[in-house]
Amino acid sequence: MRRTAAALLALTVGCVLADSAVVTLALPEILERLHTTVGQVAWVLIAFNLVLAVVVRPAAWFFKRLDPAILSAVGIAVFAGASALCAVAGSLDVLIVARSVQAVGGAFAVVGCLQLLVEELSERRGTAWWIAAGVFGTAVGPVAGGLLTDAFSWRSIFVVQVPIAVLAVPAALVKRRRKGQELAEDTPKHRVQIGPNIALALLSAALTAALFLFVLLLVDGWRRSPAIAAVTVSVIPLAALFSRPLSRKLRAGPTAETMSGCLLIAGGLAGLALLPSAELGWTIAPQALVGLGLGLTLDPLTLQAMDGRMPHFLHGSWTIAARHAGVVLGLAILTPVFTADLQNAQPPAKDAITALVLDAPLTPEDKISIAGGLSDQLKEENGRVPDLDPAFAKLHVSAIEKPATVQLERDLNDQLQRAATHAFRNAFLIGAALALTALLSLIPLRRRGGER
């Protein structure tokens, strides 16, 4: 029973932290269904991360005074209720409000679950479970969200969270304290570890490029389905899982692990910035680097920030605040860069498309028809990378011209993919720079290693 309760609490932590990126693949569908704009729909992602980052540290304050089991159960219940509200939201405003409430409940839930897991298992094992659940949730979030969106709808992402959270409420209450069992006054209060938390924030900002921008590139830039995108980005969590046996085999130590991880994330993001084509195969190696880096950094850095530090909930809350502030920082830095670059990519893309249509081995009438269809499509997509299929579907060409038309459509799609990929380049490179900055922030840690 205790194991089941611990597993449910860990699963809840995974759910809450997966929520920071779980809607990424669903954003295009939400945008369409709720009739909104790209700028507004981004708040579905930003609201959760921002509120979680802001609320989680003050939430820890309540754990000093109140029973963690009660607070956790209330937090999980609020999270479940807000998830249900997200699932039935009929407008973007309601969805954003529900996401904010979800984050408030989630903040109490993750901090409380840490304390309960430590009390249930042991300090070391409870912390390890909590960290592992968080890393797993972060890495798997976009994959799960994409698969659910493709199989059912964006609403299903939130529906599946409800039963997990509902089951976790009694699991949290199992550890309810008896009267007089409050946190001891003489519990040591350790100083917050600045270095690992800064590194966590910077890495989370960098990982936003991989977990958010890369997904956008796949779905909006390359026009892959959410399911294909979900399967593609599953390379990241798989590589993250592989990082543990690798580091165990090399026994490099936490400093070498975290530094290597930062380097791998930076290298992986640089790889995503320098893709030679829009073939999914080319994304595997850069994603594997990011995944390995994620596995080598988030886990040890969170442990460095928390290991042996009391009270657990306080130090845990700092790591969560740092990570989600990092996500918000990443979105704040990267979103304007890639949206501006996407805007700037339109004229060269239009020029390339025009050149291909003008030089296509088709009759002038067909060229004019295609140009008209493409123009309508560009207007309809309103700044997004257009889907050319409808323009070609309406075209009636002779059997002799069919191969040239098919070739033209392929070439035009290639130009659009080139333009979209190029538009994301600067954002990925900035992500790489953030990961390298995280590496720099770790250097003083090594010098002061003996003090810890």
Partner 1 sequence: MSAFARLRSAALPALSVVMVGGVLALQLAHGGGDYKPLRPASSCSAQPVSSVSTGIDGLTEQLVLIGVDVAACQLGMTREALTLQLAQPGTHTDAQISALRAGLLSAVDTMKADGKLPRASQLTREAVDVSNLSSFRKAAIRAIPDALIDKTLTTDDVLRRTINDLDLRTLLANLSNRQQLTAQVDAAVMKAVLARIADDLH
User: What's the angle, vertex CA 313, arms to CA 311 and CA 315, rounded to 5?
Assistant: 75
C-beta of 13 vs 435, nearer to partner 1: 435
Residue 123 or 401: the one with the smaller Cβ distance to partner 1 is: 401
Rounded distance, CA 48 to CA 323, Å? 12
Distance of closest approach, residue 365 Cβ to partner 1, in angstroms: 5
Question: In this complex, which beta carbon is closest to partner 1, that of residue 18 or of residue 264?
Answer: 264
Which residues of this chain interact with partner 1, rule CB under 8 A?
Answer: 246-247, 250-253, 255-257, 259-261, 263-264, 266-268, 270-271, 274-277, 282, 285-286, 289, 292, 296, 345, 348-352, 354-356, 358, 361-365, 368-369, 371-372, 375, 401, 404, 415, 418-419, 421-422
Phi-psi region of 308 (alpha: psi -120 to 50; beta: other; left: phi over 0): left
Q: Residue 326 is encoded by which pair of tokens?
A: 């990092």
- Structure tokens given for 287: 């994603």
- CB closer to partner 1 out of 271 and 386: 271
What is the total residue count of the chain?
Answer: 452
We find the least distance from the C-beta atom of residue 418 to partner 1, in angstroms, to be 5
Q: C-beta of 422: minimal distance to partner 1 in Å? A: 4
**Tokens describing residue 3:** 């194991």
CB of 172 to partner 1, least distance (A): 38
CB-based contacts of 149, cutoff 8 Å, min separation 6: 25, 26, 29, 156, 157, 226
Q: Shortest approach of partner 1 to residue 101 CB, angstroms?
A: 41
According to DSSP, residue 386 is labeled P
Closest contact distance (angstroms) between CB of 274 and partner 1 is: 4
Nearer to partner 1, 44 or 266 (CB): 266
Name the residue nearer to partner 1 (CB basis): 156 or 346: 346
* 366-400 CB burial, b ≥16 within 10 A, e <16: bbebbeebbeebbeeeeebbbebeebbeebebeee
Cα distances (Å, whole numbers) of residue 35 to 225, 253, 269, 339, 383: 20, 50, 32, 19, 15
- Pick between residue 180 and residue 276 the one whose CB is nearest to partner 1: 276
The nearest distance, CB 252 to partner 1, in angstroms, is 4
Task: Tell me the CA distances in angstroms from 97 to 52, 56, 77, one per residue in order.
Answer: 13, 17, 16
